Amino acid sequence: MEIMRSGQKITGLWSGSTYTIIKPLGRGGIGAAYLVLKDKKKYCLKASSDVISLTREYRFIKNTNKKFLPEAYEIDDFILNNERQHYIILEYIEGQNLAEIIRLRKLDLRTVISIAVLIAEIFTEFFKMGYVYTDLKPENLMLDTKNGILRLIDLGSLSEVGGMVREYTSVYDRAFWDCGVRRADDGYAAFEIMMFIANLLIPVHMYSFNRRGIDLILRKLSGIIPSRLYGIMSDVFKGHAGLAETRERLTMLCGLAEVAQADCLDLYINIILVASLIFLVCVILYVL
């Protein structure tokens, strides 16, 4: 599907809604996202030829009603170059994604672990609903400056538990490292989180994508992370720990004094992360 240009208008075949493209926001495995304008209000329009993935993402968001996800407003078809395409309209989140933030400065260890704990909590909620999020990467985490929370975007990679992984980023894929099969299970989710931590601390792409590369990554990390975190990562990479155990051990690690010896936190990011965790806990308690 070709990239649409600024000023181009998209009209839904069924809703009749017309949106004006402002600029591209990003491109994923199944399509592209755009900042659009309708009645002077900004939205995110995600366009794709894959109606199944878009419909799955739209329905999941509508049925989940979680603040760590964007709101979904509309799903429809449109015509582009005489071909039928599909789109969903999502809430436009004001802020920066994590990839943009880490380009500006390196995150300290405690911030990295705090983000990992939040991701583990979100993944646990997904798992309870029967899904695994398989395309974890910094670009898919938004720091929502308006609401003061960290939010997950681009849910096109959601796969049913036990099913085939359809979308992934190679660095975070355990099969790419020869550490397991490409199947959506709690071990896959745990591997993503551990590799996410590793990649925020060292450039893991410089290592061979195999078990030898994993050993070298762990050796490199052993000198810069607490022994307890090293143990968690080692267990996950070897396939000895799943999502639930990983979440519990990371949460316990967050309060340890040895983690506090890392560089000082950026206050703004820390406040948002704490607010995100408190909000998520409140939502879980309310549901229970």
pLDDT in tens, 67-116: 889 999 999 999 999 999 999 999 999 988 999 989 888 888 989 999 99
Asked if pLDDT for residue 191 goes beyond 80, the answer is yes
Residue 183 has pLDDT above 90, yes or no: yes
CA atoms within 13 A on the CB side of 253: 26
- pTM, to two decimals: 0.83
- Report the CATH number of the 95-287 domain: 1.10.510.10
**Is it the case that residue 265 has pLDDT exceeding 70?**
no
Q: What mean pLDDT value characterizes the chain?
A: 88
Phi, psi for 102 (deg, rounded to 5): -75, -15
Which band of pLDDT confidence, cut at 50, 70 and 90, is reported for residue 260? very low
Q: What span, in angstroms and rounded, lies between the C-alpha atoms of 92 and 59?
A: 18
Hey, where are the domains in the chain?
9-91, 95-287
Please say if the pLDDT value at position 7 is more than 50: yes
From 6-10, 207-211, 276-280, the region with the lowest mean pLDDT: 276-280
The answer as to CATH 3.30.200.20 being correct for domain 9-91 is yes
In which band, very low, low, confident or very high, does the pLDDT at 259 lie, cut at 50, 70 and 90? Answer: very low
Neighbours of 209 (CB within 10 A): 17
| pLDDT band per the 50, 70, 90 thresholds, residue 283 | low
pLDDT: is 1 or 55 the higher one? 55
Q: Report how far residue 261's alpha carbon sits from residue 110's, in angstroms, rounded to the nearest whole number.
A: 9
Residues contacting 58, CB < 8 A, separation 6+: 72, 75, 88
Tell the residue number behind the tokens 């979904």, with chain if given: 72
User: Within 13 A of 177's CA, how many CA atoms are on the CB side?
Assistant: 28
